[in-house]
């Protein structure tokens, strides 16, 4: 199963790079989303390191502990941008948003730091 997910993740990455350029508006939207995700990396990493969120098997952050209102806002904004990006990629690749999210979840699981909460494809949570 891990090999299939890894292969799917690799295939999605290769296909995303090979697809023809998008319209200027769609490209700007995608670039804006990616920029926000990059700007939020430190805050998201802090949530995961503090063990108040984890990475679920759908490619989204999930609450694992008590969050302050500011932390909840970070988590919700991150998930909204991830969903928007997965939607763009799914449309471009002719896949479902769910499949794109699962592929991204596999990639995130593999890259996660030790002790971060991750959810396996079977739904079980563990600390890496």
pLDDT bucket at 9, cuts 50 / 70 / 90: low
Cβ neighbours, 10 Å, residue 36 = 15
Backbone angles phi, psi at 21, to 5 degrees: -60, 150
Report, as an integer, the average pLDDT of 70-98.
Answer: 97
- Residue 68, pLDDT above cutoff 90: yes
Query: What was the pLDDT predicted at 19?
Result: 47
Per-chain mean pLDDT for the chain: 87
Residue 14 confidence (pLDDT): 46
Nearest 10 degrees: CA dihedral of 94, 39, 45, 2? 20
What proportion of the chain, given as a percentage, has pLDDT over 70? Answer: 78
Please write the tens of the pLDDT for every residue from 31-54.
999 999 999 999 999 999 999 999
- Structural domain boundaries in the chain: 2-127
């Amino acid at each position: 199963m891990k090999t299939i997910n890894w292969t799917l993740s690799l295939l999605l990455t290769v296909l995303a790079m090979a697809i023809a350029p998008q319209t200027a508006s769609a490209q700007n939207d995608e670039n804006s989303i990616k920029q926000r995700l990059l700007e939020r990396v430190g805050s998201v990493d802090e949530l995961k390191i503090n063990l108040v969120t984890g990475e679920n098997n759908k490619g989204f952050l999930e609450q694992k502990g008590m969050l302050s209102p500011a932390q909840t806002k970070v988590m919700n904004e991150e998930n909204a941008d991830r969903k928007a990006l997965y939607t763009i990629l799914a449309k471009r690749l002719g896949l479902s948003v769910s499949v794109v999210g699962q592929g991204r979840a596999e990639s995130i699981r593999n890259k996660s730091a030790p002790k971060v909460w991750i959810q396996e494809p079977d739904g079980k949570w563990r600390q890496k």
